[in-house]
Amino acid sequence: MALNTDPNFQKLEQWYRANGGSLNMRAMFESDPQRFGKFSTTLKTNDGDILLDFSKNLINQEVLTMLLALAKSRGVEEAREKMFTGEKINFTENRAVLHVALRNRSNTPILVDGKDVMPEVNRVLDKMKAFCQKVRSGEWKGFSGKSITDVVNIGIGGSDLGPLMVTEALKPYSAGGPNVWFVSNIDGTHMAKTLKQLDPETTLFIIASKTFTTQETITNAESAREWFLKAAGDKSAVAKHFVALSTNAAKVKDFGIDPANMFEFWDWVGGRYSLWSAIGLSIALHVGFENFEQLLSGAHWMDNHFRSAPLDQNVPVLLALLGVWYVNFFQAETHAMLPYDQYMHRFAAYFQQGDMESNGKYITKDGSRVNYHTGPIVWGEPGTNGQHAFYQLIHQGDWVLLGVLVFSVASSHSSLTDVGFTGTRMIPADFMIPAQSQHPIRDNLHHKILVANFLAQTEALMKGKTAEEARKELEAAGMSGDALEKLLPHKVSTPASAVLFGLGVQFHDKSLVSLSKVFQGNKPSNSIVFKKLTPFVLGALIAMYEHKIFVQGVMWNINSYDQWGVELGKQLAKKIEPELKDASPVSSHDSSTNGLINFLKQNFA
């Protein structure tokens, strides 16, 4: 059943059309001092509490109840169980989706085609552990007898983004480990710039490619091997400096890597969910296998919460439902992820792939095209940097007010009915922050300023600033008269206009539409607060968002675990590549592509 034909969706839609315009967060907080308690939940993990405050959202209890009913009618609970029990929910590729098995610390059997996968999972983990101990202890030697000081992970997509994000986030836990580098881009600059900083005698390369045929990865790996052999001379030395994360033993051996140093993973591990597998070898080398296990344990804790908690207390479910509320009712097109922790500076980039490659689809499971929105654009930067870059748009970007103008001649009074919000400038945001800094320098001064900004931004987005408040602020600063009136509109955190669809009329007259009363901030956000960014907590946070993505895919009736949309470009690139080998003009494409190819060929030399 399509989302918008579900009776519970239609019930929400009717409510939204009748009441959406009256949802005002400032008013809801003022009328209910207990709102925070009603719309927040605290997870008691093995490594400190994680708080989700979702009270600064455009919801009330009635809306939340209807969203939860929609989750039930969409089959979220049933789909969740199918994933955890190894059913092949990735039906287009006939695969199970079992990244949860990779971090199944309970070792409870998980079956795929009747076979328990846990013995194989644990075998690879044991192999990773032994290898990490050898490298980190200095027992593993390079061709010249020196220990490894630097590890280069060569991969792309899920073989790069996850390990890169985690190794950056867990830098404080990397003592005693090698430096890690990541090369993903086929642009030769990425490889050349990295190699320039390395010593071939002390560098280990990890080649991450399941099939060992990924063009970008294998090309980069061959370039790394060429660079290495200029120093080592003997091809047999490759075995001491290259290992593989793959399932293709024959190609790994042909490359010069000892198959004994090939770490396997399985077709039920999706690339964007693979950091928990052998793909995470660079993580384990950098922070130590014990910390890698803590990362797995944190994710496993969240898996258990997601699988067992009631929907109304289930953090991934709540986050997913709020996202559906904004995407499918308020027509939000983007979602901002704003970690107030510099170590998490790659977190949003990681979930750009996790979310957009999973749910950026318009074909439902039954093969029909959706007539509703699905996955949003995901983006973000760490605080407070983002405040000085794009928060202006979040705070004061124009909104569009959807409704019907009703004018009463008898009373000479205008009002808006059947109101809702729409447009591209509503940007729901997730704010994340640890209570404790990894570096409490200057008596924790830096972190206190960071926390103050975190709190201020979510409050400002919720409350906004009315014209009356802005006027008082300017008057207190000694401003008056024309100067005050000229500056006043720019100081109000409310939209400047309303577009009334159906009539096609735009109003600026505040006597008709008092926008400061309709919008008072009212920009939705979630606050996610945790004690400290540890390996366990990071694992829990990543798994939390993975499960949010899963729930939204179920709600939208799409397969979140294939990625056919990336294939066409690859196919066309293979056709174009041989056309670039000589200087002859090309005419086999459209005029734009022909023109671009020919211009480039003229300028290659």
> Which residues have a catalytic role annotated?
357, 388, 570
Is the Cβ–Cβ distance between 559 and 365 less than 8 Å? yes
Give the separation between CA 117 and CA 95, rounded to whole angstroms. Answer: 14
Q: How many CA atoms lie within 13 A of 56 on its CB side?
A: 25
What letter does residue 513 receive in the DSSP assignment?
A: -
Phi, psi of 45 (to 5 degrees): -90, 175
Give the separation between CA 339 and CA 247, rounded to whole angstroms. Answer: 35
Give the separation between CA 159 and CA 184, rounded to whole angstroms. Answer: 9
3-class secondary-structure state, position 227: helix
Give the separation between CA 394 and CA 390, rounded to whole angstroms. Answer: 7
The identity of residue 507, as a single letter, is: F
Structure tokens at 211: 């099939």
Is the Cβ–Cβ distance between 279 and 265 less than 8 Å? yes
Q: Which of 548, 128, 104 is nearest to 324 (CA)?
A: 548
Give the separation between CA 64 and CA 319, rounded to whole angstroms. Answer: 11
In this structure, the strands spanning 505-507 and 498-500 are: antiparallel
Let me know the angle formed at the C-alpha of 601 by 600 and 605, rounded to the nearest 5 degrees: 100
Task: Give the helix, strand, coil percentages of the chain, each rounded to 5.
Answer: 50, 15, 35
Is the Cβ–Cβ distance between 150 and 203 less than 8 Å? yes
What letter does residue 541 receive in the DSSP assignment?
A: H
Give the separation between CA 411 and CA 405, rounded to whole angstroms. Answer: 14
Produce one character per residue of 231-242: b if its CB has 16 or more CB atoms within 10 Å, e if not.
ebeeeebbbbbb
- What are residue 203's DSSP bridge partners? 150
Give the separation between CA 264 and CA 247, rounded to whole angstroms. Answer: 5
3-class secondary-structure state, position 3: helix
- What are residue 511's DSSP bridge partners? none
The sheet carrying 150-154 orders its strands as 179-183, 150-154, 203-208, 242-245, 262-263
Rg (CA), the chain: 27
3-class secondary-structure state, position 581: coil
Structure tokens at 476: 């207190």
Give the separation between CA 264 and CA 496, rounded to whole angstroms. Answer: 57
3-class secondary-structure state, position 502: coil
Phi, psi of 430 (to 5 degrees): -105, 120
Write the DSSP string, 522-564.
---EEEEEES---HHHHHHHHHHHHHHHHHHHHHHT--TT--G
